[in-house]
Amino acid sequence: MSHPMPPKPPARPERVSLWRYAKLFRQDILSAQPAKLYRAWMAEFRTPFFRSFLVNQPDLVKLLLKERPDDFPKSDRIAEGLRPLLGNSVFLTNGDDWKRQRRIIDPAFEGGRLKDAYPAMRAAAKAAVARLEGRRGPVEIEEETSHAAADVIFRTLFSIPIEHEVAGKVFSGFRDYQRSQPLLNLAAFVPLPRWMPRFFRRGTRRNAAEIRALIAQLTAERMAAIGAGQAPDDLATKIMTTRDPETGSTFDAAEMVDQVAIFFLAGHETSASALAWSLYLMALYPEWQEKLAAEADALEDESFAAVSKLKVSRDVFRETLRLYPPVPMMVRQAAGPEQLRNRRVPKGSQMVLSPWHLHRHERLWDNPDGFDPGRWQRENGKQCQRDAFIPFSAGARVCTGAGFAMVEGPLLLSTILRRFRVEPVADRAPVPVAHLTVRSKNGIWLQLSPR
């Protein structure tokens, strides 16, 4: 049997002019980087105007994310493109503001709450299969997984399906926003002076305002339902009624709009990306697909206990997060001057953490570019899972939805493969590019047939 490699974007030539780099960067940050980043421990982008450092060494990644996160706050540059949409949400804040927000949000995502959210996830998985049921011919699966992941978020957060009118409008609004505003743009690497006006592509601000108005409607309705003692026991109610243990206060309505916006965005774009790539990988590796489909019979049991039986599915999903980390890069900022690997890192330097490169690091992983879900049961895989695997980031700012996503992802993957066989479509191999998350340039196409 032939073993194709999972798609990897071409690297750029080793030396290019700054001008050319900027141009490549605008197209796609993944292919704008040289191949040596898959071997480097640390790299510096030095230009006449700015400095940034890519950190690619396990103990340095640990230093930034786990040991001294307060000295490397979130970069305010990365926040710029997202501010119109996300306001003062937990994704963008730093310091005391951020700490208070996490104290209120974290309890909603504790293990016990996942079990409560599970029936809503299952309902979304079933609805996804029902939507696929009628499809003939090649299917662009990213669109389907976006739909499914958005459905999961609406059902778990607000107890409404994607067919709900407001939910549907928020969903399409986000889709347009993602097209108009790449997560990482050059501004993230180029410190712009404070006084310089910030430009957004036409429509971005208006689009953001529309999405926020819709979300405000949902949160206002929920506030009223909570007041009347008639609110469903879902994530929104939990978050809106949790008091900060230190100050005793809850989120006010405006703050809640910011938080809901980030849950929609962080919670559906990422999961949709990972699910789409995992389905594509299953089409490429039918022997794994068969194992997974057989295992999926465990879902006959409708209870939460079935999740723990989806072992192959979880290994496949984890391997997908390694090869196609939905958030390919993260940016922090050095609060003060630092000395890292004998390099002087000036205050204000942009520190780039790249799950994309770390997860394929040639000096750390066995068979770094190969698809091998079995690796997670072997020594090298276990070691790397601890040191060089950060799809959800790590430390204090780790993704609040990590546990949620590791239930949702395998559940949706298994539910879909239990019903359908997937195959690649000839001449339509996907090319990974980084939009808001890692997507395929021209979609991910699959041929589905019922099992």
Least gap, CB of 274 to ligand HEM (angstroms): 4
Closest residue to ligand HEM using C-beta atoms: 401
Give me the 252-281 binding string for ligand HEM, x by CB under 6 A, dash otherwise.
----------xx--xx--xx--x-------
Report how far residue 67's alpha carbon sits from residue 440's, in angstroms, rounded to the nearest whole number: 35
Closest to ligand HEM by CB, 90 or 417:
90
Residue 445 found at the interface with ligand HEM (CB under 6 A): no
For residue 271, the one-letter residue type is S
Q: Candidates 135-143, 215-223, 284-292, 395-403: pick the segment binding ligand HEM (CB under 6 A).
A: 395-403
Residue type for 213, please?
Answer: A
Residue 90 CB, nearest approach to ligand HEM (Å): 5
According to the binding rule CB under 6 A, does residue 414 interact with ligand HEM? no
CB of 30 to ligand HEM, least distance (A): 16
- The only residue of 69, 191, 373, 401 in contact with ligand HEM, by rule CB under 6 A: 401
Q: Contact region for ligand HEM (CB under 6 A) — 4-12, 250-258, 294-302, 389-397?
A: 389-397
Place of tokens 């990897």: 8
- Is residue 117 at the binding interface for ligand HEM, with CB under 6 A as the rule? no
Shortest CA distance to 156 belongs to which of 393, 327, 407?
407
Tell me the number of residues near ligand HEM by CB under 6 A. 23
91 near ligand HEM, judged by CB under 6 A:
yes
- Assess 438 for contact with ligand HEM (CB under 6 A): no
Interacting span for ligand HEM (CB under 6 A) from 181-189, 333-341, 386-394, 418-426:
386-394
Binding mask 301-340 for ligand HEM (x = CB under 6 A): -------------------------xx--x----------
Say if strands 139-140 and 445-450 run parallel, antiparallel, or are unpaired: antiparallel
Closest CA to 360 of 50, 33, 56, 54: 56
Residues that bind ligand HEM (CB under 6 A): 90-91, 102, 262-263, 266-267, 270-271, 274, 326-327, 330, 391-393, 397, 399-401, 404-405, 409
